[in-house]
Structure formats: C-alpha cells, structure tokens
Amino acid sequence: KTQIMPTLDDWSEMDKIKHKILVLSGKGGVGKSTVSTQLALYLAHIGKKVGFLDVDLCGPSAPKMFGLESKEVHKSSAGWIPVYVDPETRNLGVISIQFLLGDKDTPVIWRGPKKNSMIKQFLQDVCWGELDYLIIDTPPGTSDEHISVTEELLKYNPDGAILVTTPQGVSISDVRKEISFCQKLGLPIIGIVENMSGYTCPHCSECTNIFSSEGGRLLAEQCSLPFLGKMPIDPLLTVCSEQGKNYFTEYPNSSTLVALKEVATSL
Ligand code: ADP
C-alpha cells in the first residue's frame, strides 16, 4: 500500500509551532544572543516545548551558550534533527550553523545567496515537532542581508520581534532604526527589552546604573511600544553563558529569572 506523505511545501514543520519569535538588535554586543538563549531556557524551565534557531550566521554564539559547542547536527530522511539541550526531556532543541561547520573557529564567509539558501533550509527542513515557542536569534543590524533574512522569516507568519537594547543613547538610536526597519517590512514588534540595565551588587543588593538608565522604557513610551522588562548585568549569567551552564538550575532565585518571567508574560 502506498502512503502519500505530505511534502514540506504543503505541510511545513513551521505549522506545528504555536509562537515564532524573532530577537533583533540594532548592533552587536548588546546581549541579543544572551537574551534569546536565556529566554529559551526560561520557557523550557517552566515546562514549554521550545526550539531555538540561530540564524546569526556571522557570529553564531548559541551553541556555546547552551553548552552544545562540540555537537553536530544529524540529518534524517525527514530533515535535520535539532540538538537537544537535555536529550532526555527534549524540551529545548537547537539548530545553529555552527553545528554544520564542525570547527568552531571557522568563520562563516558566505555571500548573500548562499546565506539565504541556508536560512531557507533551516526554516523548511528541521524536524522540530510540536513546539510552543520557536525563538529565532537573527544577525544584528538593518543591512540588505538582514532584510532578506527577515523577508524569508516573514513567510512563516512570525508573532513578531523582540528588540534588545542597552540603556545608553547610542544603542537606543540603533533601536530606532530597527523599529523603522520592522515597520517597513511589516514585522510586528512584540516589545523592547533593556539589557545590561544596572548592576546589582551581590553583597549589598544595591543597584548601580552603570549606563544612563531607563533608555529602553522611555524609547518604548515614545514609540508606543510595549516595554517588556529590564535584565540587569549579572556576572553569574556571563559565567554560565561562557561555560554553557543552565543559569536557572544553577541560580533559581536570580534577578535575571525575575526579569525573564516578566518578558515571558508578554509572549
Ligand atoms: P550580542 O548577541 O548582542 O552580540 P551577546 O549576547 O553575545 O551579545 O553578549 C555579549 C557579551 O555580554 C557576552 O559575553 C555575554 O555573556 C555578556 N552579557 C550580555 N548580557 C549580559 C547580562 N545581562 N549580564 C551579564 N553579562 C551579559
């Protein structure tokens, strides 16, 4: 008996995903990958089924942050199988270009068309299964390349974008560009997250605003966008990201967890 299987064109894996969320930033170094990886870990921590797609092809840092640096992705007849942070629960699957390159020190020097075709494959050929959330970490900026990545992602009806900024004026002005970029492309904006928002002293719990404060909140107000929350600078978070440890199991009462809880309520 011949069984007719649906093809990827008429039954996309993407249709099995309830929420698709892009994480964007106007420039590198503001903590976009930290916010997106920690958000994915948090959602998995509260019992959601989560996928993480790293399309930051120039600087894929998610494998390291998830502690999956030496892993390789496998392809089955149905498509690529994500690498699971916990192979037993399989509640957080990750796909990154880094898994295909093998050597973590090899830079991705590809021109636009090759990058686009890789992103297309990422979007069509990964067997995510049923997911509550797919978090997509995108390359920073608003260049042509960024436009084509976003246009490709738009075909799959994402819920929208979370914009990450730091509180200083320079980063804020980059986020303004990012807002108009989303508006031009018709990508809905879920809201703004302010990262590196003050430093809470681990000894006396006093919060010092290292950069000017409240920039993200003010920007959100001015642009009539939701302000999703503030993530403090947390040295323990840096250590966990660098060592690929799960921050929430290591530090279950952290201020970062409180911040992400607030962000997650808006999703
Ligand atoms: P981006 O993706 O925007 O380039 P990253 O997420 O790679 O930025 O962050 C840059 C560096 O800053 C990393 O070393 C990361 O661990 C650190 N970092 C980011 N956000 C925080 C935070 N809230 N607390 C402590 N360290 C952070």
- pLDDT digit string (tens) for 201-224? 666 656 677 666 677 888 888 889
Tokens of 40: 């994915």
Q: What is the 3-state secondary structure (H, E, C) of 137-164?
A: ECCCCCCHHHHHHHHHHHCCCCCEEEEE
**Ligand 1 atom 27: residue of nearest CA:** 238
Does residue 46 belong to any structural domain of this protein?
yes
User: From the CA of 61, how far away is ligand 1's center (Å)?
Assistant: 10
Question: With a 6 A CB cut-off, is 142 part of the ligand 1 pocket?
Answer: no
Question: With a 6 A CB cut-off, is 34 part of the ligand 1 pocket?
Answer: yes
pLDDT on residue 110: 65
pLDDT on residue 7: 46
Does residue 66 belong to any structural domain of this protein?
yes
Does residue 3 belong to any structural domain of this protein?
no
The C-alpha atoms of residue 194 and residue 187 are separated, in whole angstroms, by 20
**The pairing of beta strand 160-165 with beta strand 189-200:** parallel
How many structural domains are present in the chain? 1
pLDDT on residue 212: 63
How far from 192 is each of 41, 118, 248, CA to CA, in Å? 19, 28, 22
Ramachandran angles phi, psi of 124, nearest 5°: -100, -35
Convert the pLDDT of each residue in 70-97 to its tens digit: 888 888 888 899 999 999 999 999 999 8
Angle (nearest 5°) at CA 224 between 220 and 229: 35
CATH number at residue 20: 3.40.50.300
Whether residue 116 is predicted with pLDDT greater than 50 in this model: the reply is yes
Give the domain extent around 135: 13-265
Residue 10 corresponds to which amino acid? D
Tell me the best of 22, 27, 34 to mutate to test the pocket of ligand 1, counting ligand atoms within 8 Å of each CB and taking the most: 34
Does residue 1 belong to any structural domain of this protein?
no
Does residue 185 belong to any structural domain of this protein?
yes
Atom of ligand 1 nearest to the CA of 25: 3
Question: With a 6 A CB cut-off, is 243 part of the ligand 1 pocket?
Answer: no
More confident residue, 211 or 20: 20
Does residue 5 belong to any structural domain of this protein?
no
Tokens of 127: 């067997």
pLDDT on residue 164: 93
Question: With a 6 A CB cut-off, is 197 part of the ligand 1 pocket?
Answer: no
Whether residue 61 is predicted with pLDDT greater than 60 in this model: the reply is yes
Asked if residue 127 belongs to a known ligand binding site, the reply is: no
Exposure b/e, 105-137, CB count within 10 A at least 16 = b: eeebeeeeeebbebbeebbbebebeebbbbbbb
Share of the chain above pLDDT 90, in %: 37
Nearest CA to 66 among 143, 155, 135, 140? 135
DSSP 8-state class, residue 84: E
Does residue 8 belong to any structural domain of this protein?
no
Asked if residue 12 belongs to a known ligand binding site, the reply is: no
DSSP 8-state class, residue 8: T
Does residue 213 belong to any structural domain of this protein?
yes
Asked if residue 29 belongs to a known ligand binding site, the reply is: yes
Question: With a 6 A CB cut-off, is 26 part of the ligand 1 pocket?
Answer: no
Atom of ligand 1 nearest to the CA of 137: 2
Query: 134 forms bridges with which residues in the sheet?
Result: 20, 51
pLDDT on residue 197: 83
Question: With a 6 A CB cut-off, is 38 part of the ligand 1 pocket?
Answer: no
Candidate from 135-139, 199-203, 232-236 with smallest mean pLDDT: 199-203
DSSP 8-state class, residue 126: B
Query: 219 forms bridges with which residues in the sheet?
Result: none
Q: Are 202 and 251 in contact (CB under 8 A)?
A: no
Asked if residue 28 belongs to a known ligand binding site, the reply is: yes
Residue 56 corresponds to which amino acid? D
